[in-house]
Chain A
Amino acid sequence: MNKEISITINGEVYQQSVPIRMLLVDFIRDIAGLTGTHVACTYEGVCGACTIHVDGEAVKSCLMLAVQADRRTITTIEGLAIHGKLHPLQKAFNDHHALQCGFCSAGILMNMAEFIRTNRKPTEAEIRNALVGNLCRCTGYAHIVDAIKEVVGDAGSTGAVHQ
């Protein structure tokens, strides 16, 4: 019923015995105390507010059990800025007013942080399509898309990508 696991989150190792049924998002929020990752749907896993990186790839942490992340490396929103230096997306979101209530923002930032790393010059349609797994109720998405466009514009021209 319980299993001893070891998960690295934002560079820190968490070793814990947890119920097998514990969701990864609950491990992150309740055990590691990192509440930046949010839960906004029940079991359907549609909203994307729980998006984190597992070994650098964006996944929904509500659709995984904590035991499935044993010996794996997780990055949450709290780990996106490195040594206090904001990720270009975090800065662009502020400049473009790409968040209102902010509840969806962590999930979007984590998803897009991977997306822009693997898609150097996306079109607006590709950006919007990449955002399908993140529901936002407040912004209508327009400023989010603007913020991402600015960052990929920069990434495309200089070739430098943060993280």
Chain B
Amino acid sequence: MNHVAKQPGWVGRQFNRKEDHRLTTGKGQYFADIVVPGMLHLVFVRSKHAHARIKRIDISAAKAIPGVVAVVTGEDIRGAIKSLPQPVVVPALPARYPTFWPLAVDKVKFNGEPVVAVVARDKYVAEDAADAVEIEYEPLPYVGNMEDALMPGSPVVHDGWENNEMFALTFTGGATPDSQATNDAEVDHLITSADIVVKSRYRVHRCGVTPLEPRGALATWDDADGMVAWITTQRPHIDRLAMSDVLDIPTEKLRVIAPRDQGGAFGVKAPFYREPILVCYMARKLGRPVRWLETREEHLMSVSQERDQIHDLEIGATKEGRIVALRDRGLADNGDGCEGVYWGYLMPFLGAALLPNAYDLPKCDIKIRVACTNKAVLSPARSFGAYPTRFAVERAIDRLAHRLNKDPADVRRLNLIASLPYVTATGVHYDSGDFLKVWDYLIKTIDLPKFRAEQREAWQRGHYIGVGFGVGAELSGVASSVLVPMENQPGYGAATVRLDPRGKVQVFEGDAPAGQGHESSMAQVVAQEFGIHPNDVTVTHGDTSTTPFGSGTIGARAGSYTMSAIAMACRVLKKKIARVMAHDLKLEADPDDFVFVDGNIIFTKSNNVRKTFREVVERIIMAPLNLPSGETGGLEYTAFFEADAPMICFSAHAAFVEVDANSGQIKLTRYVTSEDVGTVINPQIVEAQVQGGVVQGISNCLFEQFIYDDNGQQLTSTFENYKLATAADVPSVEVHHEAGTPCPHTPLGSRGLGEGIPGPVPGALTNAVCDALKPFGIEIDELPLRPDRVWRALKEANRPAAAE
């Protein structure tokens, strides 16, 4: 199961994480552990209504409670804080951007929107005061259905907008209306003339990947030195720019620190949110440290909601099962759309761009519309918009296979991209990989023919078992060519590598991990390069004062971009070290003639000619005399890595289920993945990413759902109602990455894999259930995948067929 590369050095080798000691002995340094003397506690009063005008706010009782320092409303801050959108957090895409402040102004647009902020010396008292705030609302009609929201005559969420459409785009057929019309007509013709057409509506519910640690912000202000803000963020450098613009704080006086330890993020901590803005503002206004620590309830009410898309998808195919054309009309429910950087719609945007997935689909017509409703805005979640589009395509392929009476595995293989690089019909570039090799490895591992025989025998006994498949061609980092247009932010990876006179290394990088183990895997990369031990390498991240600019821990950037920058910086320094060594030893040598191994630097042409790594490093830093001409002393380098083209990683999943045909209960019996992660840096970390990502995908598909009732009341704001999978609900995943190929575009051959793992899961699970129930002819196209849905489908299937 664990494929450990048999090569010397640290890349590909098991290395117990350095982070673990502090994290298993209670010495982690998470946001809530940071205490600043005199810090005040800020609590939000959040809207009880989904859509309402604010008539009156009475803060007098709240202010009168001893220990309460300040109470602010939207009216108090609307003149003092710049509203969003601000350019630094607006993508270069044609969408409509709602104006908003950190507190509601004029009206509230979702159940949970912050309306009032209370600051007190004690956090319990702050809550007492929040309870004492009185707000009078005039309810407005609730816009809760994305299709209705886009109908003419629907109540409008944003004042001044004539409708609720926030974004709409055509992803295929080129850039002009004419070229798109031509493409659409061609796709239409191909579909209408195809041997077989599969059309259905696929629907994925509102769910996301909420991290175990909620959000927080703590800001201090000094009139001379400015602001220090600790924020639970994946993107400290971006937050710093945004906060500077919104609050008019000169950037040189603003330091943003992502805490050294963060309890998970998964995208949820990537946007530029309302709350940290207000916290920073209050710290400056009061001249005292202010801290907001989110409760789980606040969190589930206002963030972590993603997916929630409808796709009317049609595929036309030959009778052999080869898809000739695809047409998709997608819809997304974006809530109130108020969120810096992502604005909620970037997820359905990317999901649509990635819709073709790993399939060879040159003829596509893909369009989406994104609607505003009276719900919390969508926040990024692992798989970033593609969970629903993956589901739609995987289900469509299985439907096609059923219609043709072929094995869905065979139909899938027939349509997989056979050769890379490849550019999708939506213009997404897939750089490298061998999808068929990875797929075939999966099929071989699960011994599909044997399972099919077992399945036939089981059906005879009235026992319903099935297998389902899903694949994912997922982002491996995000190149500037994608990130600049998408988010107005660069994609390069950046790292400073600093050697010290004792031969030890410090790495500085500006991203902010939340469990990915970067302190260890990055140390492994450096150790490999310099021939030292990972324990001799420390990594500092997340502090805008001490690290180079990084776009953040998003889209699997670390494994692909940041690691690459680290490797590059090491190699520049190695060349310098080699040059100096050659010069000192009066050797005719190129830098490539030296190997760095086991703490030594050895001349390859004569193994006796060697020095210790430490002595050469010390000499260059501390005794920079008689250096080769053109060289200076010192050993520190900052490298920036940009990939030639956007990169991907690929995985194929197989899920096995047992379904009780009487009650619809589903039992997940086995889950297998085959991954192409390129060069593996730390095998355990790679495997763990897959275990965690698959379980998130399973939990989303089967258990989690954000539910708003008919009045827009959010019913799922505790873990009692928003249910995450427990250990007893899931199996261990069998993870294989034997069939990978090194990425030719990164120095290490590594691929970032964390982002997209949940994507193939809902297709695999739902396909497995439909496969198990194939004797009944069940097709399920809507999530969540619950026993009652299965049971209903079975009841429908048992009725006499209606006249066609």
Contact = CB atoms under 8 A, between A and B. Distances in A.
Chains A and B touch each other in the complex, with CB atoms below 8 Å apart:
yes
Interface of A: 19, 21-22, 29, 34-44, 46-47, 49, 76-78, 80-81, 86, 90, 93-97, 99-106, 109, 125, 127-129, 131-132, 134-146
The residue in A47, A86, A90, A137 that gathers the most chain B C-beta atoms within 10 A of its C-beta is A137
Contacts of A44: 296, 718-720
Nearest to A127: B727
Given A102-B20, A139-B688, 11 more contacts: A38-B213, A39-B32, A40-B296, A97-B688, A101-B514, A128-B727, A132-B726, A137-B692, A141-B732, A143-B691, A145-B727
The residue in B209, B261, B688, B718 that gathers the most chain A C-beta atoms within 10 A of its C-beta is B688
Nearest to A92: B24
A162 to B, nearest CB: 14
11 contacts: A44-B720, A77-B24, A95-B16, A97-B16, A101-B213, A101-B261, A101-B262, A138-B515, A139-B691, A140-B688, A144-B727
Contacts of B24: 77, 86, 90, 93-94, 99, 102, 105-106, 109
Nearest to B262: A101
Interface in B3-51: 16-17, 19-21, 23-28, 30, 32-33
Given A105-B23, A131-B727, A36 B696 contact: no
B728 A102 contact: no
Contacts, number: 184
A127 B696 CA distance: 20
B212 A135 contact: yes
A35 B720 contact: no
Contacts of B517: 97, 100
Nearest to B728: A128
A37 B263 CA distance: 13
A131 B730 CA distance: 12
A100 B124 CA distance: 31
A76 B26 contact: yes
Contact of B21 (A41, A94, A106): A94
B124 to A, nearest CB: 7
Contacts of A39: 32
A78 B25 contact: yes
Nearest to B691: A140
The residue in A22, A41, A143 that gathers the most chain B C-beta atoms within 10 A of its C-beta is A41
A129 B728 CA distance: 5
B179 interface: no
A96 to B, nearest CB: 8
Nearest to B265: A101
Contacts of B695: 139-141
Contacts of B32: 29, 35, 38-39
Given A40-B214, A94-B20, A105-B23, A100 B728 contact: no
Nearest to A94: B20
Majority secondary structure of chain A interface residues (helix, strand, loop or mixed): loop
A94 B263 contact: no
A38 B16 CA distance: 24
The residue in B264, B724, B727 that gathers the most chain A C-beta atoms within 10 A of its C-beta is B727
A108 to B, nearest CB: 9
Contact of A136 (B16, B694, B727): B727
Interface residues of B, number: 54
Majority secondary structure of chain B interface residues (helix, strand, loop or mixed): loop
Contacts of A136: 212, 727
B266 interface: yes
B515 to A, nearest CB: 3
Given A128-B728, A137-B696, A138-B692, A90 B25 contact: yes
Contacts of A42: 295-297, 717-718
A102 B263 contact: yes
B296 A139 contact: no
B706 to A, nearest CB: 16
A77 B719 contact: no
Contact of A80 (B25, B296, B724): B25
Contacts of B691: 139-143
Interface in B673-718: 684-685, 687-688, 691-696, 717-718
A38 B295 CA distance: 12
Contact of B261 (A90, A102, A145): A102
B684 A97 contact: yes
A94 B18 CA distance: 9
A132 B696 CA distance: 16
Contact of A36 (B27, B266, B685, B727): B27
Among all A-B residue pairs, the 7 with the closest Cβ atoms: A36-B26, A101-B515, A103-B263, A102-B23, A140-B695, A100-B515, A140-B691
A41 B262 CA distance: 16
Contacts of A77: 24-26
A97 B728 contact: no
B261 A41 contact: no
B210 interface: yes
A127 to B, nearest CB: 8
Contact of B26 (A34, A95, A96): A34
